[in-house]
Amino acid sequence: MISQTTIDNVFETARLEEVIGDFVQLKKSGSNFKGLSPFSEERTPSFMVSPVKQIWKDFSSGKGGNVVSFLMEHEHFTYPEAIKYLARKYNIEIEETVQTDEQKEKADERESLYLVSEYAKKQFHNNLIKIEEGKAIGLTYFKERGFTDDIIKTFELGYSLNQWDAFTGKAIKDGYKLDYLEKTGLSIVKQEKQFDRFKGRVMFPILSMSGRTLGFGGRILTNDKKAAKYLNSPESDIYHKSKVLYGLFQAKKTISTEDNCYLVEGYTDVIQFYQTGIKNVVSSSGTALTPDQIRLINRLTKNITVLFDGDAAGLRASLRGIDLILEQGMNVKICTFPEGEDPDSFAKKNSIEELTKFLEENAQDFISFKASLLASDAKNDPIKKSETIHNIIASISKIPDVISREVYIKECARIMDISEEVLFNTLAQTLLKEQKASQKKPTSNAKNFEVVSSNKTAIETINRQFELEKKLIELLLLYGVEEEDFEELVMDTDEKGNITYKSEFVKTKVFEKIYLDLQEDEIEFTNDEFKNIYYDIIENYNKHQELKIDVFINTLQPEKAEAITHILMEDEKYVLHDWKGRKIYVKSKKESLAQMVTETIINLRRFLVTQKIDELAKNISSIEDDAEKLAVLNETVDYTSLKKLLSDKLYRVL
């Protein structure tokens, strides 16, 4: 029996129009494709394919279905044969297994998470339109943004009441289990207490391509500097933010019809564009664009127009990530708004005709835009010009289509005033280097496990965060189930009923301490291999309340197992020194476990805060507006104060 994971991967990856296109000549017809029936003799097309719905229909024979049913009808495959054919076509590894009772239970659990998320969406929307607090605060906010009742209903916007457990309490009363509320991230559970993650926030439901509720984004409306402005649902079995695009459910039909997708940054950018009349728009929700998100768009169109505000520094930073789109063989255009404007504000001020005209006149091909932008920086500096050309060639090398690469080379030669021959030679060298590099790398993250030279700069740039993340993985692997007394801030009330906090020592398992602290601060591992291992470990602890290293490693892919082995065996090298034989006795890590866990988490927080301070310091010199500069200075002061607080906890000086 083919595993459900393989089947899910096949359906998520396969593009119906590509598969049928191998057997039927298809032509674009609006948002669909049409062709001659493969099941009957005809001269007029009656065979339709819908990329948006991923279904097909043959009106001459009455047959229809999804990608698998087409292969079963046309090629007379069995269901497993069709799945295997698609897996081979898209290079998906086939897993075959007998579904156990535990696997069936897991499938039921996923469905429960969907039900809880759907319930939450309806409750938040009800709060917004029927509860006085929701209408006075949440609805007023949306109205001030210019959103109409229809648009609020279309995107099912909501509001989470500003009470510690208003949602959690009602959900439990209505029969929903606290376990599922916690797993979706809607509720946070600490000891005997539970409270709402999104307390006092306006809510943006995040839907799958098929319209199922996966998670939420919540925006705080107060000026609480300790709270994140936007808060997303944590990763769960149904929500992986790197694989989701906000607004895709509402936009998918128009994306296919218009054969173009506008990509913006935030929730309100999407909604404001949609309300103005540009409906083929999605957002990566503030995260860096990922290959999985690009593939979602690629199912509907080959064309992406990325919209940026007038912030030049932010634009240059974002350009580095767009090479991923080129790697997928897609066509990328860039459109920037006037200084001080973003997609939300610009769409609000302009009609559909004005907005459409602006986008048409200002959208530039990505390579041409990048060449022009970097060329203006280089000016008459030969060294900068050389660096710029190499930068552009690096982007062109990502494009898989040979003809497209040649066209871009010619355009780059024209803009940069350099011979095509030189650029073609440089491209060939770049492609050769990339090919050799890919052959040398055993895994995508192998560089993280290479020996680092003693060069001081290299250690400072890559070593610190890597070591802290590795330490957290080590603590989880070796001591995750151990219970220790950790110092926590516990919510309390004073004589007047005001909420206060007091310090208490709470007995908590190490894996729970690490998981909850990282969740509260929305800290994610930057090393992809560690991130994947982390979620595997947490899932294992949540399921079994223990972790048997030998059993756990045998369930992992070889790359993950190898990485874990490196971490676990690192301390073993000290045995070779025979310290005991030399009467040198080292204190066991377990003797100071609580301190070590706490210090590692605080050190990671401190490192990230330091990074933020450095980032603000770099940006402030380019800010000309006094008010904006003052705001950045105030933000820097706040982060510096936080860094000092963390340093004090570590008993260290700044």
Kindly report, residue by residue over 411-432, the tens digit of the pLDDT: 888 888 889 999 999 999 888 8
Token pair 């993280």: residue: 448
Question: DSSP state, 137?
Answer: I
Separation between Cα atoms, residue 404 and residue 416, nearest integer Å: 18
How do residues 192-219 score in pLDDT, each as one tens digit?
A: 899 999 999 999 999 987 688 999 999 9
Question: What is the radius of gyration, based on Cα positions, of the chain?
Answer: 27
Q: What is the pLDDT of residues 550-564, one digit of tens each?
A: 557 656 665 666 567
What pLDDT score was predicted for residue 589? 59
Q: Of 82, 219, 37, nearest to 137 (Cα)?
A: 219
pLDDT score of 76: 64
Which strands make up the sheet holding 213-220, listed edge to edge? 158-159, 201-207, 213-220, 230-232
Label residue 361 by pLDDT band (50, 70, 90): very high
What is the per-residue pLDDT for 636? Answer: 83
Identify the three-state secondary structure at position 126. Answer: helix
Q: Bridge partners of 311?
A: none
Angle CA 415–418–423, to nearest 5: 100
Other CB atoms within a 10 A radius of the CB of residue 172 amount to 15
The third-level CATH classification (topology) of the domain covering 4-89 is: DNA Primase; Chain A (3.90.580)
Task: Give me the chain's average pLDDT, please.
Answer: 81
Instruction: Write down how long the chain is.
Output: 654
What number is the average pLDDT over the span 586-602?
75
Q: What is the pLDDT of residue 624?
A: 77
Q: Which two tokens stand for residue 638?
A: 């706040």
Residue 36 near residue 47 (C-beta atoms within 8 A): yes
Element (H, E) at 597: helix 593-620
Between 411 and 653, where is the model more confident? 411
> Is a pLDDT exceeding 60 seen at residue 579?
no
Quickly tell me which residue has 């700069």 as its tokens.
Answer: 457
Query: For residue 447, what pLDDT is reported?
Result: 39
Tokens (6 digits) for 208: 């799958």
* Range name among 340-354, 360-374, 483-497 with the lowest pLDDT average: 483-497
Residue 358 pLDDT > 90: yes
Confidence of residue 653 (pLDDT cuts 50, 70, 90): very low
pTM summary value: 0.58
What's residue 433's pLDDT? 84
Average pLDDT of span 143-156: 96
Q: Which CATH code of 1.10.10.10, 3.40.1360.10, 3.40.50.300, 3.50.30.30 fits the domain covering 240-362?
A: 3.40.1360.10
Token pair of 522 as six digits: 């929305």
Percent above pLDDT 90 for the chain: 26
Per-residue pLDDT, 179: 95
Residue with the two structure tokens 């000309």: 624
> Can you give the residue ranges of every domain in the chain?
4-89, 109-239, 240-362, 378-440, 456-649
Q: Tell me which range, 7-16, 89-98, 557-566, is most confidently predicted by mean pLDDT.
A: 7-16
> What single-letter amino acid sits at 371?
A
Written as six digits, the tokens of 151 are: 């648009």
- SS3 state of residue 129: helix
Furthest-apart CA atoms within the chain: distance in Å: 92
The three-class DSSP label of residue 96 is: strand
Q: State mean pLDDT over 89-106.
A: 75
Strands 281-283 and 261-264: parallel
CB 83 within 8 A of CB 10: yes
Half-sphere exposure of 228 (CA within 13 A, CB side): 14
Inter-residue contact 470 to 567 (CB < 8 Å):
yes
Rounded CA-CA distance 304/331 in Å is 6
Range 376-384 average pLDDT:
75
Which of 30-34, 43-47, 196-200, 376-380 is the most confident on average? Answer: 196-200
**Relative orientation angle of helices 402-416 and 382-396, to the nearest 10 degrees:** 160
Res 616: pLDDT:
82
Exposure b/e, 39-65, CB count within 10 A at least 16 = b: eeeeeebebbbbbbbbbbbbebeebee
Show the tokens assigned to 56.
């097909």
CA pair distance 102, 96, nearest whole angstrom: 16
Three-state SS at 417 = coil
pLDDT single digits (tens) 524-537: 888 888 888 888 88
DSSP-assigned letter for residue 139: I
Whole-angstrom Cα distance, residue 291 to residue 326?
10
Confidence of residue 459 (pLDDT cuts 50, 70, 90): very low
* 54 vs 299: CA distance, rounded Å: 9
What is the residue whose two structure tokens read 């593009």?
15
Top CATH class of 109-239 equals alpha beta
Average pLDDT over residues 272-283: 96
pLDDT digits (tens, 9 = 90+) for 608-646: 888 888 888 887 777 877 777 788 788 888 878 777 877
DSSP 542-590: HHHSS--HHHHHHTS-HHHHHHHHHHHHGGGGGGGG-TTTTT--PPPGG
User: How large is the average pLDDT for residues 58-73?
Assistant: 81
CB 564 within 8 A of CB 470: no
Residue 272 has pLDDT above 90, yes or no: yes
| pLDDT at position 446 | 36
Q: Cβ distance 347 to 273 under 8 Å?
A: yes
C-alpha span between 375 and 220 (Å, rounded): 41
Amino acid at 17: E
The residue among 473, 474, 480, 484 whose CA lies nearest residue 547 is: 480
Contact status, residue 510 vs residue 597, Cβ threshold 8 Å: yes
The DSSP symbol for 100 reads P
Residues 6 or more apart whose Cβ sits within 8 Å of residue 116: 171, 176, 180, 181, 184, 186
Range 130-152 average pLDDT: 96
3-state secondary structure 192-225: CEEEECCCCEEEEEEECCCCCEEEEEEEECCCCC
All residues at 6 or more sequence positions from 519 whose CB lies less than 8 Å from its CB, including other chains: 185, 188, 234
Q: How confident is the model at residue 185 (pLDDT cuts 50, 70, 90)?
A: very high
pLDDT at 440 over 80: no
Average of pLDDT values for 174-203? 94
At 234, the pLDDT band (50, 70, 90 cuts) reads very high
> Taking each helix axis from N to C terminus, what angle separates 366-378 and 402-416, rounded to the nearest 10 degrees?
30
pLDDT bracket for residue 304 (50, 70, 90): very high
Percentage of the chain exceeding pLDDT 70: 81
Phi first, then psi: give them for residue 302, nearest 5 degrees.
Answer: -95, 0
CB neighbour class for 398 (10 Å; exposed up to 12, middle 13-18, buried from 19): middle
Distance CA 396, CA 427 (A): 8
Element spanning 372, H or E: helix 366-378
Most confident of 387-391, 422-426, 539-543: 422-426
Is residue 654 predicted with pLDDT exceeding 50?
no
The region of weakest confidence among 141-155, 275-289, 584-598, 626-640 is 584-598
Higher pLDDT, 221 or 439: 221
Q: What's the pLDDT score for residue 442?
A: 47
Is residue 153 predicted with pLDDT exceeding 90?
yes
For residue 199, the tally of other CB atoms under 10 A from its CB is 20
The closest of 246, 351, 226, 346 to 297, measured between CA atoms, is 246
